[in-house]
């Protein structure tokens, strides 16, 4: 525990020249390069070859979240432009209910040009289909870390909040791309299997998959399963503290179907994770089952996984098995008549963490000094620099629209 909390983030730095950051995706998603790390050896291939490297009969888990058009712009009478960036719903707190709202809703938002919006309502005319709708934003109290509550309302009860976002929202591409969102991003910054709206950033490891690659996985005897983690803006939040103990992880909303728990049980509690968001969700499941071991009557909200829980639990002595943990969740869902588990996680995965469920990972190349790089380092037992040195020396493209890696420790 001591070691993980006191990791120095400067030890996870590397030089990433701007020209190595992919500003746009390749024309063919699955023609990206694939770095293959197996038992300490690094080779390369093309992404379409991915199924050949995976053990037949294994379970592959994808995050089916869909990025929302979360950036909204309002112009004040003074001419000042205020940007309201929707981070997560506050009321109704459930994503689906919030998007379906027809009376109004409240979100936790970041506000650009905040000093120009002291008080008062912001409003703009929105064209939804053939209707003109007056859409209004009202700033509420400060929430946390500079974000605010913002209440949205509009004057047509036949129109949902989802329709308004689709009509006027802008897709929030990552800040490090240093460019404006383009029309093509609406397609390329979503995975082909995205379904459940709620993320403000794409689960980018999934951007390489095409229907052709998914079919090849099926043909190779790989079972596919989906879960949902809505990616928050915190995914881009740099670690500003010298030691990671000083970094507060963002909380993210997760949904896991009972069928997924059953599939994990059928596969001895082992999975291939597509992307760090799937990793964080799958690993959080183990600790949800741990919580249920002693407290089987917790509410779904109380199953939230705190940042340091895994390390505190590991230091207490013998741990329950992965299968026991998953059986605890399955029994909990059975008792409560749940088809899906809705909760949240704040888990931080860093060197010193012992992986429980994820045995193979597909992921992109991450920013220097990021929590995602810590997660990868923990997975490859500290061998991350060998992987990144190879990628930098062999023309791999980095970050969200960049190339991919397959990690098999």
Asked whether the predicted pLDDT for residue 1 surpasses 60, the reply is: no
Same domain assignment for residues 242 and 364: yes
Q: Residue 20 domain-assigned?
A: yes
pLDDT, one tens digit per residue, over 92-110 is: 999 999 999 998 999 999 9
Asked whether the predicted pLDDT for residue 234 surpasses 80, the reply is: no
Q: Residue 121 domain-assigned?
A: yes
CATH number of the domain that residue 309 is part of: 3.40.1780.10
Same domain assignment for residues 384 and 238: yes
CATH number of the domain that residue 85 is part of: 2.40.10
pLDDT, one tens digit per residue, over 173-231 is: 998 898 999 999 999 999 999 999 999 999 999 999 999 999 999 999 999 999 999 99
pLDDT > 90: percent of the chain: 93
Cα 380 to Cα 155: distance, rounded to the nearest angstrom: 54
Same domain assignment for residues 302 and 288: yes
Of 170, 198, 230, the residue that ends a domain is 170
Same domain assignment for residues 266 and 356: yes
Q: Residue 207 domain-assigned?
A: yes
Mean pLDDT of all residues in 158-185: 94
Same domain assignment for residues 298 and 367: yes
Same domain assignment for residues 126 and 226: no
Same domain assignment for residues 268 and 404: yes
Domain count of the fold of the chain: 2
Which tokens go with 296?
A: 């089987």
Predicted pLDDT at 266: 98
114: containing domain: 70-170
Q: Residue 320 domain-assigned?
A: yes
Predicted pLDDT at 119: 84
Q: Residue 181 domain-assigned?
A: no
Q: Residue 180 domain-assigned?
A: no
Phi, psi of 80 (to 5 degrees): -65, 135
pLDDT, one tens digit per residue, over 59-77 is: 999 999 999 999 999 999 8
Same domain assignment for residues 356 and 311: yes
Cα 58 to Cα 317: distance, rounded to the nearest angstrom: 31
Using DSSP's 3-state secondary structure scheme, residue 294 falls into helix
Cβ-based neighbours of 317, under 8 Å, separated by 6 or more? none
- On whether the CB atoms of residues 205 and 362 are closer than 8 A, the answer is yes
Same domain assignment for residues 230 and 153: no
Of 170, 197, 221, the residue that ends a domain is 170
Same domain assignment for residues 25 and 126: no
Predicted pLDDT at 159: 96
Asked whether the predicted pLDDT for residue 242 surpasses 70, the reply is: yes
Which tokens go with 382?
A: 């500290």
What global pTM score does this model have? 0.95
Q: What is the mean pLDDT of the chain?
A: 95
């Amino acid at each position: 525990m001591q070691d993980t909390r006191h990791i120095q983030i400067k030890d996870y730095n590397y030089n990433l020249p701007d020209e190595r950051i992919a500003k746009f995706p390749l024309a063919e998603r699955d023609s990206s390069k694939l770095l293959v790390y197996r038992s300490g050896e690094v080779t390369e291939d093309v992404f379409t070859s991915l199924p050949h490297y995976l053990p037949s009969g294994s379970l592959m888990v994808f995050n089916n979240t869909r990025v929302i058009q979360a950036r909204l712009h309002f112009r004040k009478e003074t001419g000042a432009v205020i940007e309201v960036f929707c981070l997560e719903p506050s009321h109704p707190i459930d994503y689906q209910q919030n998007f379906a709202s027809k009376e109004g809703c409240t979100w936790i938002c970041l506000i650009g040009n905040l000093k120009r919006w002291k008080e008062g309502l912001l409003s703009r005319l929105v064209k939804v289909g053939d209707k003109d709708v007056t859409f209004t934003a009202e700033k509420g109290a400060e929430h946390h870390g500079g974000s605010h509550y913002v209440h949205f309302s509009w004057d047509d009860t036949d129109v949902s909040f989802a329709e308004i976002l689709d009509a006027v929202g802008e897709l929030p591409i990552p800040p490090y791309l240093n460019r404006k969102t383009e029309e093509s991003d609406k397609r390329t910054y979503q995975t082909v299997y995205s379904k459940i709206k709620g993320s403000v950033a794409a689960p980018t490891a999934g951007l390489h998959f095409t229907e052709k690659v998914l079919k090849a996985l099926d043909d190779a005897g790989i079972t596919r399963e989906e879960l949902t983690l809505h990616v928050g803006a915190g995914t881009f939040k740099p670690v500003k503290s010298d030691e990671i103990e000083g970094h507060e992880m963002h909380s993210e909303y997760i949904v896991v179907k009972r069928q997924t728990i059953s599939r994990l049980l059928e596969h001895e509690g082992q999975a291939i994770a597509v992307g760090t968001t799937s990793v964080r969700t799958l690993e959080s499941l183990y600790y949800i089952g741990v919580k249920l071991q002693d407290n089987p009557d917790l509410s779904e909200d109380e199953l939230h996984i705190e940042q340091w829980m895994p390390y505190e639990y590991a230091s207490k002595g013998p741990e329950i098995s992965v299968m026991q943990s998953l059986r605890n969740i399955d029994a909990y869902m059975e008792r409560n008549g749940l088809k899906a588990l809705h909760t949240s996680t704040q888990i931080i995965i860093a060197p010193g963490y012992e992986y429980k469920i994820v045995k193979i990972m597909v992921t992109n190349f991450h920013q220097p000094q990021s929590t995602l790089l810590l997660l990868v380092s923990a997975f490859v037992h500290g061998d991350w620099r060998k992987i990144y040195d190879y990628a930098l020396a062999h023309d791999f493209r980095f970050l969200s629209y960049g190339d991919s890696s397959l990690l098999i420790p």
